[in-house]
Amino acid sequence: MTVVGRYAPSPTGRLHLGNARTALLAWLQVRAARGRFVLRVEDLDPQRSRPEHEARQLDELRWLGLDWDEGPDVGGPNGPYRQSERGEVYAAALARLDTFACTCTRKELREVASAPHGADPIYPGTCRVAPSHPGRPAALRWRVPPGEVCFDDGIAGRWCQDVAAEVGEFVLRRADGAWAYQLAVVVDDAAMGVTHVLRGADLIDSTPRQILLARSLGLTAPSFAHAPLILGADGNKLNKRHGAPDLSALRAAGVDPRRVVAALARSAGLLNPADQHEHVAPHELIASFDLRQVGRDPGPLVELTPLA
């Protein structure tokens, strides 16, 4: 069986070192298995996605030494490779799922349901029988089948969630017509023949939703590995406020991309700590790549910041 993996950036900003490390790991998993690597642009959010971000992200991934066999710039048999151009595929999938129209606003939902800070509240079922405000534009929610979904993550181990109880009926198409990430990613991974998903740990709690959707659509779900995120010193997800340089800044500063790759590889556990290699090209890591070396703990940011 050919291993097919992908990197699926959202063109909403610049790639930082955390994105780069995830991309490197996904690429290595595929190249080590002599598989096919797909680059898919997840530009579902029309407000935040920009073609110039896409161009810059692809350019910088190449600068790092990564390449892909299919993607928006190189083509391939399973395109288009931009989600903004795949609406018909999502509509066909949606038509096969049992959904209902929901006219609740985010604010209304926050008021009825309590939710952990930042997370979407569990949908309280307001519009299950009929939309609460028939005049409003409606989102479409999926009637999630009951029961626990479990999977064995290649890095994080066994993971289970009762989607109906812990997430509730989630949105597949927003009231403004935008497709939900959860639906698009499932449909696209299947359409593009993806067998192995390696992505950031922030998406692990979306995985049971995606497995359930794949099952309901009669699609084979890929296997999953969720790599730890690089965290800032405050323990939060890496972002601009941490002063962590994005790839553009490193490139503009004249940093050798092989230094960036060496630091990323070391922080992911791919290089022996005693190995003093300061410069490594991605292809030099293929022969020894072993996903089991990647730990569950995020690598320290401190090793990466002196790059700038």
- Would you name the residues annotated as active-site residues? 240
Comparison of 142 and 224: residue with beta carbon closer to ligand GLU: 224
Neighbours of 126 (CB within 10 A): 18
Cβ proximity of 273 and 250 under 8 Å: no
Applying CB under 6 A, does 203 fall inside the site for ligand GLU? yes
Burial of 215: CB neighbours in 10 Å, binned 0-12, 13-18, 19+:
middle
Applying CB under 6 A, does 199 fall inside the site for ligand GLU? yes
Closest by Cα among 270, 299, 269, 303 to 284:
270
**Least spacing, CB of residue 42 vs ligand GLU, in Å:** 4
Report d(CA 80, CA 47) in Å as an integer: 20
Number of residues that bind ligand GLU (CB under 6 A): 7
21 is in an annotated binding site: no
Burial of 274: CB neighbours in 10 Å, binned 0-12, 13-18, 19+:
exposed
Taking only Cα atoms into account, the Rg of the chain, rounded to an integer number of angstroms, comes to: 20
Applying CB under 6 A, does 8 fall inside the site for ligand GLU? yes
**Least spacing, CB of residue 113 vs ligand GLU, in Å:** 25
For Cα atoms 15, 18, 22, give the angle at the middle one, nearest 5 degrees. 95
123 is in an annotated binding site: yes
Applying CB under 6 A, does 21 fall inside the site for ligand GLU? no
82 is in an annotated binding site: no
Applying CB under 6 A, does 83 fall inside the site for ligand GLU? no
9 is in an annotated binding site: yes
148 is in an annotated binding site: no
Binding residue for ligand GLU, selected from 42, 54, 188, 246, defined by CB under 6 A? 42
**Least spacing, CB of residue 203 vs ligand GLU, in Å:** 5
160 is in an annotated binding site: no
Binding residue for Zn ion, selected from 41, 104, 194, 307, defined by CB under 5 A? 104
Comparison of 192 and 263: residue with beta carbon closer to ligand GLU: 192
Tell me how far CA of residue 52 lies from CA of 38, 168, 242, 245, 252, in angstroms: 20, 36, 24, 19, 17
DSSP assignment of 240-294:
GGGTPPBHHHHHHTT--HHHHHHHHHHHTT-S-TT-------GGGGTTT--GGGS
Applying CB under 6 A, does 126 fall inside the site for ligand GLU? no
Comparison of 103 and 188: residue with beta carbon closer to ligand GLU: 188
Q: What 8-state DSSP symbol labels residue 34?
A: T
Applying CB under 5 A, does 139 fall inside the site for Zn ion? no
Look at residue 8 and give the partner it binds from ligand GLU, Zn ion, none, a contact being a CB closer than 5 to 8 Å depending on partner kind.
ligand GLU
The partner residues of 196 in beta bridges, in order of sequence, read 5, 223
**Least spacing, CB of residue 203 vs Zn ion, in Å:** 25
Report d(CA 289, CA 195) in Å as an integer: 18
**Of residues 112-131, which lie at the interface with Zn ion (CB under 5 A)?**
126-127
Binding site for ligand GLU (CB under 6 A): 8-10, 42, 185, 199, 203
